[in-house]
Structure 1
């Protein structure tokens, strides 16, 4: 074997890294990032929400996944909120088991828990995700309810707005300390409706459009041509149960790219 053949062989050996090894390395890096992010969020001003993504803004590389995977292509806001509520270990166990079909023995080596604990983490995370999935409303119904919500906001119709909200509806607004936002959750249909109307009165020139946000119809709020807020909703039984309002400009950069 000549020197060129030996060099070609060594390069091939370096490039041909087993997928399992890559998965392990990526998982360890992700856990470190999640732990760091969890610490930063303790210092975050007010409520923290996942970054809203306009459809088509990002491309996800094709990865072989199990047919039973419960995540869809857009990672809806409701599902992202559920995943964010999990511990890094629980999220890792769920993703590695459900998306990459790793054995619990392999997951143990990554998350540093016992096999039984890994099973419990993955099972609990899967139950939370599937419970949220079962609560999903058909897209056309979701769009109809959100459209009616904005019509009530636009006409300042408090009664109509309250009628669209679940009595136990919750609103979270994320300003990140950069812009004014409610620092704590707002609970109840009446309080949520009044909060939304009061916020709109402060910005009379605000324009809203119905657009897809993380795969579901939401509201994109603009001042002049700049997106200043994105609102996502969770609808169940034709009532809005959750309103997620992202105002932090750092999380709206993908909406303001020219």
Structure 2
């Protein structure tokens, strides 16, 4: 066997190993997603993905009065994560393997235990759903996001209800995830006025709460602390200079990485 044949064989072997690893990893992810989906049926209140700390990202410490400008990596933004969570496990795996890994429908079928035609439909519907949701909720520029969130916290800090309402989209939605372990709204809160009043009421119940503006999943958010312990992380979706979504993660189990850091 000459060197060229050895090189070709090596490449073929690498491709085979890569395909095998993709198959095994996808199987594990599918099993985890199925397990998580079952557990969520028993989960108390709203479920939100865990937020990710970033040591580089402290923007301004509270009290906050003036906007700041900073650019973040948007690849870990909360909004696409929330959209992906709305898909079934099979649809999510099919979407990722087809749209991001370019795996054939036959390969996807072997993983999700469906026929290739069904996998094509799953991936197509998931792709359309994700793109429509992301297009409809397209994020504003990072510097605008930071300015709006900074103004939002300033209004919370001073108890200015009118200013708070003016920063929120009329159809703004707030989700809070306490996991049944801490006090949180069990259902979504809709509307600018209700969201503003909810935030102010929550702060009144915790007068010693301290907040810092930090990067949360690559976008400016709020990290809430009692003393040195992180008790909540708030992320936002901003569109057309208005906050359309507020996500509050209060479940202590989802804040361990913040308290470790």
TM-score, normalised on structure 2? 0.84
Equivalent of 1:211 in 209, 214, 222? 214
Q: What is the SS of the residue equivalent to 1:256? A: helix
- Hey, what's the Cα distance between the residues in 2 that align with 1:233 and 1:16? 41
CA distance 1:16–1:131, shift in 2 (3 Å):
closer
How far apart are residue 204 of structure 1 and its match? 0.6
Query: Paired residue for 2:42?
Result: 43
CA distance 1:131–1:137, shift in 2 (3 Å):
farther
- Hey, what's the Cα distance between the residues in 1 that align with 2:81 and 2:18? 26
How far apart are residue 131 of structure 1 and its match? 3.1
The answer to whether structure 1 residue 136 and structure 2 residue 139 are counterparts is: yes
Root-mean-square deviation (Å): 1.9
Deviating more after overlay: 118-127 vs 77-86? 118-127
- Hey, what's the Cα distance between the residues in 1 that align with 2:115 and 2:239? 37
- Hey, what's the Cα distance between the residues in 2 that align with 1:78 and 1:184? 18
- Hey, what's the Cα distance between the residues in 2 that align with 1:46 and 1:197? 20
How far apart are residue 213 of structure 1 and its match? 0.4
- Hey, what's the Cα distance between the residues in 2 that align with 1:104 and 1:21? 16
- Hey, what's the Cα distance between the residues in 2 that align with 1:95 and 1:249? 29
The answer to whether structure 1 residue 87 and structure 2 residue 85 are counterparts is: no
How far apart are residue 34 of structure 1 and its match? 0.6
Query: Paired residue for 1:108?
Result: 109
Query: Paired residue for 2:254?
Result: 251
Query: Paired residue for 1:236?
Result: 239
- Hey, what's the Cα distance between the residues in 2 that align with 1:16 and 1:240? 46
- Hey, what's the Cα distance between the residues in 2 that align with 1:131 and 1:145? 24
CA distance 1:127–1:181, shift in 2 (3 Å):
same
Greater RCO structure (CA 8 Å; 6+ sep): 2
CA distance 1:255–1:41, shift in 2 (3 Å):
same
Query: Paired residue for 1:11?
Result: none
How far apart are residue 176 of structure 1 and its match? 0.4
In 2, are the aligned partners of 1:78 and 1:132 still within 8 Å (CA)? no
- Hey, what's the Cα distance between the residues in 2 that align with 1:56 and 1:224? 19
Query: Paired residue for 2:191?
Result: 188
Q: Unpaired segments of 5 or more residues in structure 2?
A: 1-12, 57-72
Query: Paired residue for 1:10?
Result: none
- Hey, what's the Cα distance between the residues in 1 that align with 2:223 and 2:203? 13
In 2, are the aligned partners of 1:76 and 1:215 still within 8 Å (CA)? yes
How far apart are residue 137 of structure 1 and its match? 1.2
- 1:28-71 deviations in whole A, cap 9, x for unaligned? 111111111000000011110000001269xxxxxxxxxxxxxx
- Hey, what's the Cα distance between the residues in 2 that align with 1:241 and 1:73? 17
In 2, are the aligned partners of 1:218 and 1:232 still within 8 Å (CA)? yes
Query: Paired residue for 2:181?
Result: 178
- Hey, what's the Cα distance between the residues in 2 that align with 1:145 and 1:255? 24
- Hey, what's the Cα distance between the residues in 2 that align with 1:56 and 1:105? 42
Query: Paired residue for 2:156?
Result: 153
